[in-house]
Structures are given as structure tokens and as C-alpha cells.
Chains A and B, each alone.
Chain A
């Protein structure tokens, strides 16, 4: 099956800093999503982005499907951004969403 690798596994920032999270995948996809799992365990949809670039406030994402990677940018980080960020993909030929192992982000005040 498709492999999904996220980097870095852990990231510690000071409030106000910017960061880039990366997601590499091993096969063609027709769906790529970024999620934020908050400290209470809720999975929050950030972006549905199988290709192209999207922005939502301080967050933006870019997927280059031909090169099999996606980037999540967080600008002017806040303590409420803390949590785990997951990338999940669905193969063009499949029906299941495969998750990476996540990036644990800690934003200190």
C-alpha cells in the first residue's frame, strides 16, 4: 500500500515563529488532507488539497502531486496551534485514507 512520511516528527516553537511541515507519499493520490488533532483528541479538518495551494488565515498548504509531497505552513504560531498535525492520503486506485504518523507541534508562550 501507499506509504506516507511526515517530517519533522516533533517541533518546538516560540509563539510568533513560523514553521513548515512536510508530507511525502509514495504513489499517485486523488485525496490529500491535513488535520490538526488538538490536545482533547479532536480531529479538525484543515485542508482538503489533492493539488495546488490553499490558504486559511495563518495556515496555508501546497501539494505538488507530480512530485508526491505536500507542505503545511503555519505563520505567527500561537499556543493554540499545539497538537499533532496529520497528513492523510487516498491512492487514486483505492478507497481508504492512509495516515502518516504525524508531527507533534508544541508552541511555547
Chain B
């Protein structure tokens, strides 16, 4: 198993540009989620999904969109990037409620 994979590893955007961060898992996990980590802080939840076709907002959803068309993929879209979205983004998955969560390697995003 590759586990949770994320692409790209690094990205630089200009203010106003859009992009999609990719996340995939090959463990047949129901739950997937996106977190951001800012310097010196823990991770904060952006959006999550409890299964294909179902998504919901987390703690800091503004400026981000998600969709879950398949069990394996959970892309995160930035519609109009802002400097405040400069952060490290982690995707995670788990098999079900209350189970261990696994994280991808992260995407380091800089918005100029």
C-alpha cells in the first residue's frame, strides 16, 4: 500500500490564482480530511468527508472547496489564493469513526 499520497509537494502561487491540491489513499478508508498547519501551531481541520459524495466543513473552511467523487480521492481547491493561505496542507484518512488516522506527507504552499 502507498498509504496517503499528496501532490504537489511544493507550490508557489500568486494572489488570485486557483489550484487544486491532490490527495489519494489506497486503503479503502471511508473518512478523509484536509488540515492546515501554520508555523508553531498544531493542525486545524479545513474540510472532511465521511464517504463518497459526502463532505462537510471543519474549523477553517473559508476559501477552500472539496468534493469526493470516489472513495480514493479527495482534492482540495483554492478558488482565489490569498497570502493568508500560505501554509502546509496535510491530507488524512481513516477507516471509520474512532479509528487511527493516517496522514500524507504534506504540501507546502506559498501565496505571494
List chain A positions with a Cβ less than 8 A from chain B.
Answer: 4, 30-31, 33, 35, 41-43, 45, 48, 50, 86, 88, 90, 95-102
Contacts and interface: CB of A to CB of B under 8 A. Distances in A.
Interface residues of B, number: 25
Interface of B: 31, 33, 40-45, 48, 50, 58-59, 88, 90, 92, 97-103, 105-106, 108
Contacts, number: 54
A8 to B, nearest CB: 15
Nearest to B90: A43
Contact of B103 (A31, A43, A90): A43
Contact of A99 (B31, B42, B102): B42
Given A41-B88, A42-B105, A42-B106, A95 B100 contact: no
